[in-house]
Amino acid sequence: MSERASVPKDEEQADSESTVSDVATGAESVVAGLENAGVEHLFGVQGGAIMPVYDALYEHEEMEHITMAHEQGAAHAADAYGIVTGKPGVCLATSGPGATNLITGLADANMDSDPVIALTGQVPTDFVGNDAFQETDTIGVTQPVTKYNKFAEGPDTVGDSIGEAWALANEGRQGPTLVDLPKDVTQGETNISPGGPKTPDTYNPPTDADEVIVQEAADALAHAQRPAILAGGGVIKGEACEELRAFAREYEIPVVTTMPGTGAFPETDELSLGIAGMHGTGYGNLAISNCDVLLGIGTRFDDRLTGGIDTFAPDADIIHVDIDPAEISKNVEADYPLIGDAAVVIEQLDEALTQAPPADEWREQCQTWKEEYPLDYEMPEDEPLKPQYVVEKYDEVTDDDCIVAAGVGQHQMWAWQYWTWTEPRTWVTSHGLGTMGYAVPAAIGAKVAAPDQEVVAFDGDGSFLMTAQGLSVAVREGLNITIVVLNNEAVGMVRQWQDGFYEGRRMASEYPWIPEFDKLAEAFGAQGLRLEDPDEVEDTIQQAREYEGPTVIDAIIDPTENVYPMVPSGGDNARFALNEDHLEQL
Amino acid sequence: MTQGELPGPGPDERLLPKGRRNKQGIRIDPEAEAEHQPERALLSALVKHEPGVLAEVSGLFSRRQFNIESLTVGATIDEDFARMTIVIEEPRPGIDQAKKQLEKLIPVISVRELDRDAVQRELVIVKVNGTEPDKVNAITDMYNGETLDAGPRTITVQLTGDHEKIDNALDAYRQFGIREIARTGYSALARGEAATAKVSEPNQAPTDAQTATEEAADD
């Protein structure tokens, strides 16, 4: 590599009293902005228009850059990093195709309110609008999928723009932000060092909810005979898990989690009713459907959770706690809107609540449902291998803080259902956008974020094929991760819908031929293991966990296995199907 | 046999809730369901005056399927801020949601729904056939309009007013043949001492003296 050839620092700059490293160019200001925010890792892909920023990173060894195989992977890795650490993950890409490749990852982060900051190169300002080489209107195309984006104005202010975007990704309702960096701005001279991360003065996320409504909500809860808590991803994002756990236990209120809220409340607790929604537990869905007061915290009541809105908790007064006012009464009308920070509002409710709800009978009812609707599966003597068994066995041998990543599809639902969740920030998947291919880059981002925690990814064969190139990154970085491909040689969830709702017409859902994933892994330099025999599950898992570096387990599972319980799209949560016959009755 | 079967009572053998919600997620009595009728609302937003804000706001309205009748944007006394006036037609829950979504955009400083009595005006430029200039001028006078251009074949006039007045004037001009019209959409301010924005604009007249200076500058 050659010596860095950039604009020499002038004397005035060298004399500057700035507390951060002195800057001479816009690109150095960008890096200083990241440094001020305490950024330690970046995920990205090089390219023409972003080169000045990479060049400025050359001297910053304290910031580790992970070169990804594809920009989509960079965005997903940053997203997973954000989920695991709670602080914005950083991704970089060049202009044009680099930036457009990020979009799926940004849209994913936007749906799940994951903190991510993306830095994209852009053609020089004078070329913008002329259809220059690798020019795309990145601000225009990312506007609908980011919380905030900004076209950098000049080398003097670009570092502050980075700090602002980082702070906006991090504060209030978290989400992805983007700064578009034209090459003349990053190459331009400046001697102004940026300040620390700071949101605009006009950005003031709420903290405390309205005291009057808090009292009214507490009164409703105190007299509820069938109360339930629905804990969403906002409980985890808002660092309110301790408050939630203490509150639910003190007042003995059953807790159901949404998919992003998984881990907010331990499923080992008697009050836990698992998860609700399309593939949620029977008891979780029955509790949500029949409750008379529902305390929803940090949830946006999305359609995969509610099923048909006409039948969603139709007998319940809804107390909705959210930091984003726009979520209140968006999908389900809130009888008691509590706009504020989850942890603060739970404390407020705790202070306002005079008694535990009189709900002995209800809790008994919930326990009865738990006994009636266990998540169970038939285990044959030998083959075929059941996917649920693989998930359960992996859960058995790992610690509570093991991070589980997943792609999107049947494998994701099995992982979600059959893993016993006890800790927040251990379930790393694509919720709202449903992005197949999320698992491999997410496992990379999660492992970089938490090198001391075990990371396993469950993936499907269809999902894995979308981002398998990320294995090259995992091998190069020497990451100890295991990717378990639950392989049924089909896009299984689509096939399940075709069988259930399209008279079994399996159009474009089955693969007549797919690669042998264990051998593919070996070609990448990873350990590849093939698993077919249920008796070998434990040994195979052990072999993967002992290996120094990434392992792919190609688990050939029962191709006829489907995901239940299931609430058909727009259906009644209480009338979930337990088998295909039920689906036909609905 | 289908796989993945789970044990437990079937859909018809369970405790099922009796209530229902409507499409807006509001609990209803199914016997007496009242649909929310669309209504017209006037929103005023104070926004940062920077590139891309108009695209961001109009993009928001289109991607969330809010029905807008007009959107105007213009500078305020502080060059860093612009004021948008948006006329929206939606059922009440949609109007509330539009306000909250708008307020959520980072460059949007404040959003307020203006009362019906807000001072609201639209400007229209109308080009009509000029064959009967006296009659055209009579209508222009009647609606307090102004003739901007008159030639042998066309007369172009300007009118300001509320929606109803402009519609009535256009009806009156129709007898001559209207060639083209351009309407601006509503601009509005809250009536009387009430502020149009929830927050003070940074350079908003704190004293009479300053107000006078700014008005002079505006002129």
What is the full per-residue pLDDT of chain A (586 aa) written as tens digits? 344 444 444 444 444 344 456 889 999 999 999 999 999 999 999 999 999 999 999 999 999 999 999 999 999 999 999 999 999 999 999 999 999 999 999 999 999 999 999 999 999 999 999 999 999 999 999 999 999 999 999 999 999 999 999 999 999 999 999 999 999 999 999 999 999 999 999 999 999 999 999 999 999 999 999 999 999 999 999 999 999 999 999 999 999 999 999 999 999 999 999 999 999 999 999 999 999 999 999 999 999 999 999 999 999 999 999 999 999 999 999 999 999 999 999 999 999 999 999 999 999 999 999 999 999 888 887 889 999 999 999 999 999 999 999 999 999 999 999 999 999 999 999 999 999 999 999 999 999 999 999 999 999 999 999 999 999 999 999 999 999 999 999 999 999 999 999 999 999 999 989 999 999 999 999 999 999 999 999 999 999 999 999 999 999 999 999 999 999 999 999 999 999 999 888 7
Residues 99-158 of B with CB under 8 A from A: 100-101, 103-104, 106, 109
Is residue B15 within 8 angstroms of chain A, CB to CB? Answer: yes
Cis omega (within 30 of 0) for bond into A565: yes
Q: Can you spell out the DSSP letters for A452-490?
A: TS-EEEEEEHHHHHHHGGGHHHHHHTT--EEEEEEE-SB
Dihedral sign from CA coordinates of A337, A340, A343, A346: negative
Residues A540, A535: Cα–Cα separation, whole Å: 10
Q: Which of A146, A202, A279 to mutate to test the interface with B (most CBs of B within 10 A)?
A: A202
Does residue B29 register a pLDDT over 90? no
Q: Minimal Cα distance from A585: which residue of B?
A: B11
Residues B17, A402: Cα–Cα separation, whole Å: 38
Query: Hey, how many other C-beta atoms are within 10 angstroms of the C-beta on A266?
Result: 17
Residue-range domains of chain B with CATH: 39-114 (3.30.70.260), 119-189 (3.30.70.1150)
Confidence of residue B77 (pLDDT cuts 50, 70, 90): very high
Which positions in chain B touch A331 (Cβ < 8 Å)?
Answer: 25
What's the Cα-to-Cα distance from A220 to each of A161, A233, A257, B27, rounded to whole Å? 45, 24, 21, 16
Domain ranges of chain A: 11-187, 211-372, 387-564
Residues A258, A570: Cα–Cα separation, whole Å: 17
Whether the domain at A211-372 and the domain at A387-564 fall into the same CATH topology:
yes
Cβ(A194)–Cβ(A260) below 8 Å = no
Does residue B30 register a pLDDT over 90? no
Residues B102, A52: Cα–Cα separation, whole Å: 36
Which of A140, A365, A372 is nearest residue B8 as measured by Cβ atoms?
A372
The CATH number, out of the four listed (3.40.50.1220, 3.30.230.70, 3.40.50.720, 3.40.1190.20), of the domain defined by the range A211-372: 3.40.50.1220
Find all residues with CB under 8 Å of A70, minimum gap 6, and list them.
Answer: A45, A101, A467, A469, A470
Q: Which residue has the tokens 């400007």?
A: B123
Q: Which two tokens stand for residue A352?
A: 């306002």
> Residue ranges of the alpha helices (H) in A386-451?
387-397, 410-418, 439-449
Q: What is the pLDDT of residue A461?
A: 97
Q: What is the pLDDT of residue A11?
A: 40
Q: Which residue has the tokens 């056939």?
A: B129
Which of B5, B12, B101 is nearest residue A578 as measured by Cβ atoms?
B5
Residue from A270, A243, A271, A242 nearest A255 by CA = A271
Whole-model pTM?
Answer: 0.93
The gap between the terminal CA atoms of chain A, to the nearest Å, is 66
Does residue B33 register a pLDDT over 90? no
Find all residues with CB under 8 Å of B142, minimum gap 6, and list them.
Answer: B172
CB contact under 8 A, B6 and A578: yes
- For chain A, give the number of residues: 586
Cβ(A180)–Cβ(A146) below 8 Å = no
What Rg do the C-alpha atoms of chain B give, in angstroms?
Answer: 25
Q: Please state which architecture CATH assigns to domain A387-564.
A: 3-Layer(aba) Sandwich (3.40)
Distance from CA of B11 to the nearest CA of A (A): 5
What is the CATH topology of the domain spanning A11-187?
Answer: Rossmann fold (3.40.50)
ipTM above 0.85, yes or no: yes
